[in-house]
Chains A and B, each alone.
Chain A
Amino acid sequence: MRKYYLEFEKPIQMMEEKIAELKKHLDSDFSVELREMERKLQYMLEMTYKNLTPWQISLVARHPERPIFSDYRDKLFDDFLEIHGDRNFRDDPAIITGFATLGNYRCVVIGEEKGKGTKDKLYRNFGMPQPEGYRKALRAMKLAEKFGLPVLTFVDTAGAYPGMEGEERGQGEAIARNLFEMSALKTQIIATVIGEGGSGGALAIAVADRVLMLENAIYSVISPESCASILWRDASKGPRAAEALKLTAPELLKFGVIDEILPEPIGGAHRQPEETIAIVRKALLRHLDELVRISIPKLVQARYQRFRGLGVVQVQD
């Protein structure tokens, strides 16, 4: 039984509970009524998830049961060896780095980790990295560059942590340095936005040759709540801000910010984590197959051009 339902999933919850109740009392699954109800549930899920508003998508992107990086780490790769630390200050648990095997590829993997359960979440600082997290990520990327391994990053953060220590240790500098170095890193980089792509904290590991995004993930310059509290001094106007910010995958595809939308199973990634991870795995393998065929100088040039071309301006005569 699922534990957590979003507000707009209430009808789905009721239906699922009814079905569960019915199943308890019936000896056979072949009851016509039950089958009818399951069909209806499937239809409800499909309809609900096909027509999500940007705000609802933001909620799904942060769903407590949505697969997070550690799920991908454990199930997407054939094996994984974690490496720790930025060699300067400490190991930031909000970013996990390591070596992994994916099919025929050996790669360096970097992911923002929100954590599971209260204790782990606190340990991971809810997936909000400190500067040393970004520096660890950069160190891993430099290793990848040195040994010719592709880099796979997984974006899932509300943002870089806005605290005192982060400021003391140069949060801005750490992010800037990553953008600077990633733009010319001499190896393949694929970034996948699996949940929340929170501003600079997301971009700092997403200057990539391919940027993929799950259907119900978001990627934005600012969270809808913060945007609302700046614009209207009212964080509860998040739904309106989510609409205005155009932070959903189809919008980002239009702007050329992402390359591909990875469809989630019906009812969202949190209903079928394994299937979601399999979808991501398949997509990563396909993109790796394409990228390794491109020479590194060409790849770096194309990466530069990609980011060089982003932005919309008017030129007056």
Chain B
Amino acid sequence: MAWFVKPQYTIKKSATIKQNEGLWTKCPECHSIIYNQDWENNLHVCPHCGFHDKLNAFERIQMLIDPGTFVETFNNIVSADPLNFNDGTPYIEKVKNAMLKTNLKDAVVTGYGKLEGHMIELAVMDFNFLGGSMGSVVGEKITLAIENATKHKRPLVIVCASGGARMHEGILSLMQMAKTSAALKRFSDEGGLYIAVLTNPTTGGVTASFAMLGDVIIAEKKALIGFAGPRVIEQTIKQKLPPGFQSAEFLLEHGFVDIVVERKDLKSTIARVISYIKGK
């Protein structure tokens, strides 16, 4: 065997990042290094630049719902594969991987619980599960949550975070937009209060259905909210978008969002809206 051979492997550069794991978090926006405990305490908001990083569904629920009052509903509903979709990896495989990665059944968690004492029906989307995409399960669970809210006359809060429709379920994903919107119409006609919370990012089919149908729409600071994604628009118009385009603040300015809040004020703001409309 020769003394000097070219190594048959490549050096993984992630080693340095790994060292930081467990202690420090890097802000994805301004790249400043934040002590993990501070990051957690600050609800994944960068203390330096104010960037709101994604929360997973249960972190979000923990943040919004009074301790010990959350009851999860409809968590026995999982994806089927109506199209037999295979783009190299079978769709079912992708769903399984996402389940393992996120410990969720699909991209939304539904349930009810108390928010500053108000019993609410809640649906929280999780972007980590296949980009928060809406397929039949998301549509069905959100519709069931809306119907539950209608039945129990509870205020409804949906926390949106989604890249849009789940193309692996084809036209059936598209139909979820009609389904959820139809359920919201019934809820609204019954006098139900629906507060939509838009978080980073909320785009595509979710924006074009329940995200934009709130009686009151609250967005988290700097969240990207739009119908078409920025990349699609840039490709269409063949120019760069100005900074801040499709941000929560941009939508507020154009009249499509009622309130833009920092994450730490989200819970109290929702509670205030409920109090104003439904009383204490």
Question: Given A181-B185, A246-B171 in contact, is the A164-B177 Cβ separation under 8 Å?
Answer: no
Within the complex, the shortest CB–CB distance from A164 to chain B, in Å, comes to 6
**Contact of B150 with A by CB under 8 A:** no
Whole-angstrom distance between the Cβ of A132 and the nearest chain B Cβ: 14
Identify the closest chain A residue to B203 (Cβ): A172
Are A184 and B227 neighbours in the complex by a CB distance under 8 Å? Answer: no
In the complex, chain B residues 181-199 whose Cβ is within 8 Å of any chain A Cβ:
181-186, 188-189
The answer to whether A219 touches B171 (Cβ under 8 A) is: yes
What is the CA–CA distance of A160 and B205 in the complex, to the nearest angstrom? 12
What is the predominant secondary structure among interface residues of chain B facing chain A?
Answer: helix
Q: Are A257 and B87 in contact (CB under 8 A)?
A: no
Number of interface residues of A (CB under 8 A): 54
| B227: A residues at CB distance < 8 A | 160, 162, 166-167, 171-172, 175, 200
Q: In the bound complex, what is the Cα–Cα distance between A177 and B227 (angstroms)?
A: 13
Q: Which residues of B contact A244 (CB under 8 A)?
A: 83, 85-87, 170
Residue among B78, B175, B176, B185 with the most chain A CB within 10 A?
Answer: B175
Shortest B138–chain A CB gap in Å is 9
Total count of chain B residues near the partner, CB < 8 A: 60
Residue of B whose beta carbon sits closest to that of A208: B178
Q: Which chain A positions have C-beta within 8 A of B178?
A: 179, 183, 203, 207, 307, 310
Partner of B175, one of A162, A180, A247, A310: A310
Which listed residue (A168, A222, A247, A313) contacts B77, Cβ 8 A? Answer: A313
Answer whether A176 and B140 are a contact pair too, CB < 8 Å, given A184-B186, A310-B178.
Answer: no
B213-229 interface code vs A (CB 8 A; 1 in, 0 out)? 10000000000001110
Question: Does B271 touch A at the CB level, under 8 Å?
Answer: no
The answer to whether B207 has its CB under 8 Å from any CB of chain A is yes
Residues of B within 8 A of A316 (CB): 76-78
User: CA A219 – CA B170 in complex, angstroms?
Assistant: 9
Verify A172–B212 contact, CB threshold 8 A: yes
Query: Does B210 lie at the interface of the complex (its beta carbon under 8 Å from any beta carbon of A)?
Result: yes
- 13 contacting pairs across A/B (C-beta < 8 A): A167-B226, A167-B246, A176-B181, A179-B182, A180-B184, A184-B189, A207-B182, A244-B85, A245-B167, A255-B172, A307-B175, A313-B77, A314-B78
Q: With A164-B237, A173-B212, A180-B185 given, can you name 6 additional A-B contacts, CB distance below 8 Å? A: A162-B228, A172-B212, A172-B226, A203-B174, A203-B178, A307-B175
